[in-house]
A and B are shown apart, each in its own frame.
Chain A
Amino acid sequence: MDLSFLEQLLGPTVEEEEGYRNIWVVAIAWEPHLRECDLQVLGKARDLASSLGAYVNALLIGEGASEELARELIAYGADRVCWGAGYPTGPSLMEFVQQRKPEILLFADAAGGRKMAPRLAQRMKTALVTHAVDVSINPEERALVAAVPIYNGIAYRVVECKVNPQIATIQPGVFPVPERDPWRSGEVEEVELEWKPQPPLMPVEPPHYYIPLEKADIVITGGRGMRDAGWHLLEELAAAFARKYPQKAVAVAGTRGAVDEGWIDRKHMVDITGHRVAPTLYIACGVRGTFQHFAGCEKARCIVAINHNPDAPIFKHADFGIVGKVEEVIPALIEALDS
């Protein structure tokens, strides 16, 4: 029988090409459930797999790992899942990777992967692409091409991996969680790695100054333009939002200028070298809008700017702008919220 027709249909087989094949995702279950960030990586791996003609495999580890969760990973797009309840030692993780020879190995850029991926890469003396925000495949080279933010996100560098296994960590939140298909089938295999004895985890209260600005739904930021209006107006606007939307977390922040003026502490600074926030709503009051500042807030879903200078650069970045004096517009906003 002539099988060349079938081969054409299936494309070149990926088997045995240097021995490295398939995409692997490392998923970590500290607790008995899957993490969203790992599912996002799995979904992206599925996309990449089709351009490589590869399978998507997963290694599921962590104290919470179980056969049930392994089957869940199949429902979310894995073809084969190796799982074990525990946290592998570095050498045994490396041995696993050397045996299974993934062509591409992906981690979420979150607790666990952040420590594991660079140490694995160093053991194997390979490169590691970290917090990729976009990944694709260069089909000629079978290479992973990833965009990674540099200078804290002013720009992206596009890198292409050269050496197998091509290891990368993927920024959480950039790719969607894939559809769950309970009817998908795949193989589940329990693996015995060398587990490392874990010291007990001791969660503690965050240090007193640690305010997760990153967690706020609404961030109200003041710049030097708040001089005449007075900083307290921002607090009042924040309070008005909090009254109207008690379920939302509202935070007040400042630009570098406001921090330099001494109006607000550096710990509340939104800037390339300060906090980078991603609220649903970002209101910039009396902020000129340098790109250093914009690097700190570009991820906001909606940016509103209030500035009396219609040529202020902030308006270029804003979704909505009000040209006016903060001392007039902010009280009007408070009134509009309270009415």
Chain B
Amino acid sequence: MGIYSPARRRLIIALLLTSVLLVTLDLRGNSILDTLRNGFQQAMDPLESAADVVARPVRNAWRGITRYDELAEENEELRSQVEQQRADQISARAAVVEFQSLLELNNLPSLGDIPTITARVIGETPSNFDEVIEIDKGGDDDIEVGMAVVSEGGLVGKITKVFDDRSYVMLVTDEEYAVGAKIPGTVSDDATPTTPAPPTIPNAIPNPDLTTTTTIPPATTTTTVPGTTPPGQVPPSSTPPTTAPPTTAPPTTVPVTTVPESTTTLPPSTRETGSLQGQGSGRPVVLRFLEEDVDTGRFEEGDPVMTEGGEGSLAPPDIPIGTIARVRRGAGSAGPEIEVELGADVERLSFVRVLRFKPLSEAEGD
């Protein structure tokens, strides 16, 4: 920079220092800068709308060129999925109704109790290092920083910045995003033989369905009393057959109430919790800090992943996040690292719902 005068060098240094100062002020929270940003974005609105109209043909042409094959394949795949999901939807709907009824019976809160605000996605970040979208609802609609955002497919992200008529949503794929997550009802098929016997409850309640009538013929017979074996299992060889004593009486019909000695094996009602973190654009989100042990069973691909909730969590519990796509089991003690395939297609969001949910820790402070 020898060819520059000291004045020019000072200008360069002053600009760089001003930038650093502005970053510091903005990160510490400055109402003037927030107002400036809000005003600037409102002023940019009509210009962006005009640019959107002008850019649409170019954008559509680009999509046509770059995504034609992808869209054709996706269309075919979706058709088959729709057929399959029609059947699933019916049974799922029944299960949801049943679940809601149970929650109501037990006075438990459910996601349906949380008011939501539907918002349209009006933009996305122009940066290569953020995963942020912009929605058309803001402080005027009582949206607050931290509220969870969902779509039909599940969790989408959280509100990070609120203006009067718009908000920014950090997507779950952003590297700065983290939320408590759980894998509910993990059950292992192959864990039983190598583990201690799971808890069993003797089915001691007489079951009328199992009351049988045995007709004892007049002759000397040997009757084996059924009902001691759970269905689908081979009768234990140690059970001796019950031998009726010889009798010469006329044939009589004796009602016999059988108390089955069968045992009911309950699946382990456990859940595993961990921390879900984004990894950036194009990468799967990762669930960490889980413990995979013999009591909880092993995680399998396709297992559902949901928000954990809890006092400090900004997201309410039981929002579907996605399913396990891959389990990476390391040699260390950190536990497995689980890649989660998101239920929501965060790359192509048009509408989202903001859950007006406040965690207990914040609600108490109101």
A and B: interacting chains = no
